Amino acid sequence: MQLLIKTFHGLEEVLAQEVKELGGKNVTPLRRAITCEGDLKFLYQANHHLRTALKVLLPIEQFNARDENELYRKIQHIDWSKYMQLNQTFSIDPVVFSSTFTHSKYVALKVKDAIVDQFREKTNRRPDIDTQFPDISINVHVNNNEVNLSLDSSGESLHKRGYRHSGHPAPLNECLAAGMLMLAGWEPSIPLIDPMCGTGTILIEAAMMAAKIPPGVKRKKYLFMNWKDFDKELWMSVVREGKEAEKSPKVSINGGDIDSKSIDLAKMGSLDFGLGRFINLERIAFHSHLPKSKEGILIFNPPYGERIQAKDLNAMYREIGDHLKAHYKGFDAWILSGNKEAMKHIGLRPSQKLALFNGPLECKFQQFRVFEGSLKKKEKESN
């Protein structure tokens, strides 16, 4: 079967690699998504195992529609009894980029009417709509006059692992954190530090990766469980195989934050998943955080001046650079920030610049290699 798997901008290639390693075939990166092929077991595995995926969609129809009447007619030509039962609730999730169809809610209404009318004509009854907790969710993607319909196999976004506790004003998305670790080339053998860890998302994602704990380990419900072809035994085999692959790794994962409430939330999240033994957390200011090894990787997400305010961001970023140069020689530092001006004050030349989105905010994920001596001297020695 052909699948469409959604992700964040900038994570398409790492998702594609994840999908290949999981067994997906004919993988093609798109914008904020990839397409691939796989069987029913792979669809279950994709939902359970992919760390940078947001949704796993199963495309079912594609056609062109010149206006709302043609859209309605072509939706009615589909046999919806193949995909849902009369007693099941459903919802429409529209994504519209079109000069013909200018209102996504109106597209959703026309698609809903066509499906409801088909059931009513055949059975004199109609299925109910549930926009919050539907049994079946139908994704409608309209690009100009091209209409693509897909079944949402995931339901709630896959980034929701189940370890997040409310209370932090700017939590990092779990899929984004996992993607940052992959983009940075982090491996469990490399010491990892997040000196501004907040609620510990990067650290918890790293520990889950090291322990090979599936990101969906705590999740009880996916929409594919409501499909007509749901194979419970096959699904249970996927869960069992994931559990059997877990291990207890030797890792160095360290985090700190000046805010005691954030550290408490990070500890709660790590303990919920049995990861407390892999992660060292302490309440400490950035300028007091010192490495416990001679080399490694720092990955962190300092304040941008958006949801979290800093009195003088430029000075703060200058202090970040000074501390890295003074105490983290031999380390790679990867910093995610949505404040381009503040990033200029770090005082280190970035060796990589990647574009990512943290929610609606466009950010730069930059790598800074902290060398012994000057960068110019290092470059001269390598030539």
Residue ranges matching CATH 3.30.2130.30 in the chain: 2-152
**Cα gap 319→324, rounded to integer Å:** 8
The answer to whether 273 touches 208, Cβ cutoff 8 Å, is: yes
Q: Decide: pTM greater than 0.85.
A: yes
Fold of 2-152: VC0802-like (3.30.2130)
Could you read off the pLDDT of 41-62 as tens digits, one per residue? 999 999 999 999 999 999 999 9
8 A C-beta contact, residue 161 and residue 218: yes
Amino acid 171: pLDDT: 78
Tell me the one-letter amino acid at 302: P
DSSP letter for 129, please: B
102: left (phi over 0), alpha (psi -120 to 50) or beta: alpha
User: Exposed (0-12), middle (13-18) or buried (19+): which is 308, by Cβ within 10 Å?
Assistant: middle
Residue 311 has pLDDT above 90, yes or no: no
Check if the beta carbon of residue 49 is closer than 8 Å to that of residue 242: yes
Question: Please, which residues bridge with residue 28 across strands?
Answer: 35
Sole residue written with tokens 């969710």? 137
Span 176-192, pLDDT tens digits = 999 999 999 999 999 99
In the chain, CATH 3.40.50.150 sits at: 174-211+251-382
CA atoms within 13 A on the CB side of 157: 12
The position carrying tokens 């004199």 is 124
CB burial of residue 134 (10 Å; 0-12, 13-18, 19+): buried
The second-level CATH assignment, the architecture, of 174-211+251-382 is 3-Layer(aba) Sandwich (3.40)
